[in-house]
Amino acid sequence: MKRQSSSSQTEGVEQNPLTAILLMTSAMLLLPVMDITAKYLSADLPPLEITFGRFFFQFLFSLAIALLTGRLLQLRGKQPVVNYLRGIFLGTASLCFFTAVKYMSVATAISIFFIEPMVLTILAAVLLKEQVGPRRIGAILVGLLGAIIVLRPTLAEVGLFSLLPVVTAVLFSFYLLLNRLYPVRDDLLTIQFSAGLSGSVLLGIGLLIGNLTGIEGTEFVMPDVPQSSLLALIGLISFAGHGLVVSAFQRGNASLLAPLQYIEIVSATLLGYLVFANFPDGPTWLGIALIIMSGLYITHRERKLRQMASK
């Protein structure tokens, strides 16, 4: 699941739609591997620790590249407070999602998460006073209906944990709203470093509190070598996947690339079936279809409105 901003600087990057499509498709095929790995590890490690591992290793990879390229002093960035706040939103959202996949299939969790365009539209209307017409309201209702259909069996089986992808979508929507208010001004490496550092600090504090209080599911479990390697893999995929997404959006426009994000549902379904023998039933696919159509329509309407506003 793409859980970082697609915004980045585009100066000096040549537009190439075909390359953009290839980069975005590669990201959508790669990112579910991270979620599948997190689900696999959740059988032995708490989701909080797995999420901490994702951000800690992302931080280490960013730091290593900065040291090797002599860019260490540039990592503070032009807007450090905003960058670290982005990392806090991402860390909390990732914790909710990795907790969700412990109890439900990755494909189902990702499908529910994709109500994010609807949530973002609602929050933008409420908090930023953006105008939302009847067409987008209708699309939001269709998407939410799809989410209810997808949630139908999962809510009965695992209870309130099945709502965690919805919480993830809300948190990620706040993250995107922050990007609207404070457009990204730093390069990709600085953003990666800031997110890794702030996410590690936030989740590390959570692990420390969990160990001191003994709250179930928040304790630290010493990983063995294979588990540590998989945690590092999650961090590497997070780092590489975000880089692919940003590079794609630098080379192609959002209207071209937005539909490709739904490839993630297909790749997550295939991987989930191969690793865990999980496969959505017929009604779940209907709900997924409604969510996808709703998200695509909202993207289409926002593009049209931006074009009209620029004239």
pLDDT tens sequence across 228-272? 999 999 999 999 998 899 888 888 887 778 888 899 999 999 999
Comparing C-alpha atoms, which of 129, 112, 103, 209 is closest to residue 166? Answer: 112
Q: How far apart are CA 236 and CA 90, in angstroms?
A: 16
Q: What is the pLDDT of residue 172?
A: 93
Rg of the Cα trace of the chain?
A: 19
Whether residue 121 contacts residue 229, with contact meaning beta carbons closer than 8 Å, is answered with no
Cβ burial 195-215 (10 Å sphere, 16+ → b, else e):
bbbbbbbbbbebbeebeeeee
The mean-pLDDT minimum among 27-31, 98-102, 186-190 falls in 186-190
In this structure, how many other beta carbons lie within 10 angstroms of the beta carbon of residue 307? 10
Q: What is the pLDDT of residue 184?
A: 80
Q: What is the pLDDT of residue 239?
A: 94
Whether residue 204 contacts residue 52, with contact meaning beta carbons closer than 8 Å, is answered with yes
